[in-house]
């Protein structure tokens, strides 16, 4: 039997979190330019970017290996700057029974905080929390910030 857990990764985004929200919602394939070392491809299989129910396919590098993920957009809330993605196929599901990623931007004290939450359930007790995936996403936040003029 596996374990359920949650990891939260947050990074202050001085260039305004709206930029990251809009990028992730409407133009996630641009991450191939800001983070080419981790993201090699992002295409829509069904629907369109930023729309609930759409299916997106990713090619990425994780722990030095080329991997893939197919995810469905479960929710989009522009007011809260929130997007949730559930992984439905791909390498992540070799270790996790369920994997939900939720992205949102919080404004606190005049600063934007870009936050990713990973809700997961492992396939068995031998699988640990997805810390290295959290590091990958944290790196993408930093890469997007560096790319801003």
Burial of 10 (0-12, 13-18, 19+ CB in 10 A): middle
- Of 28, 27, 37, give the one whose Cα is nearest residue 66: 37
The set of residues, in sequence order, having a beta carbon less than 8 Å from that of 65 and lying 6+ positions away, is: none
Q: Which CATH superfamily is domain 4-147 in?
A: START domain (3.30.530.20)
Domain boundaries, the chain: 4-147
Taking only the tens place, the pLDDT of each residue in 119-129 is 999 999 999 99
CA 39/CA 77 separation, integer angstroms: 24
Note whether 11 and 142 are within 8 A (CB).
Answer: yes
pTM across the whole model: 0.91
Please give the pLDDT value at position 114.
87
């Amino acid at each position: 039997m596996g374990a359920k857990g949650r990891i939260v990764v947050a990074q202050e985004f001085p260039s305004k979190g709206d930029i990251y929200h809009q990028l992730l919602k409407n133009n996630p394939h641009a991450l191939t330019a800001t983070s080419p070392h981790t993201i090699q491809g992002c295409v829509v299989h069904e629907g369109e970017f930023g729309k609930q129910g759409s299916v997106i396919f990713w090619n990425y590098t994780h722990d030095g290996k080329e991997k893939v993920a197919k995810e469905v957009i479960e929710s989009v809330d522009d007011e809260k700057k929130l997007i949730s993605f559930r992984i439905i196929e791909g390498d992540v599901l070799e270790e996790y029974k369920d994997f939900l990623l939720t992205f949102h931007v919080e404004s606190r004290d005049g600063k934007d905080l870009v936050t990713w939450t990973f809700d997961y359930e492992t396939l068995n007790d031998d699988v640990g929390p997805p810390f290295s995936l959290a590091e990958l996403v944290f790196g993408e936040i930093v890469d997007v910030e560096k790319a801003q003029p």
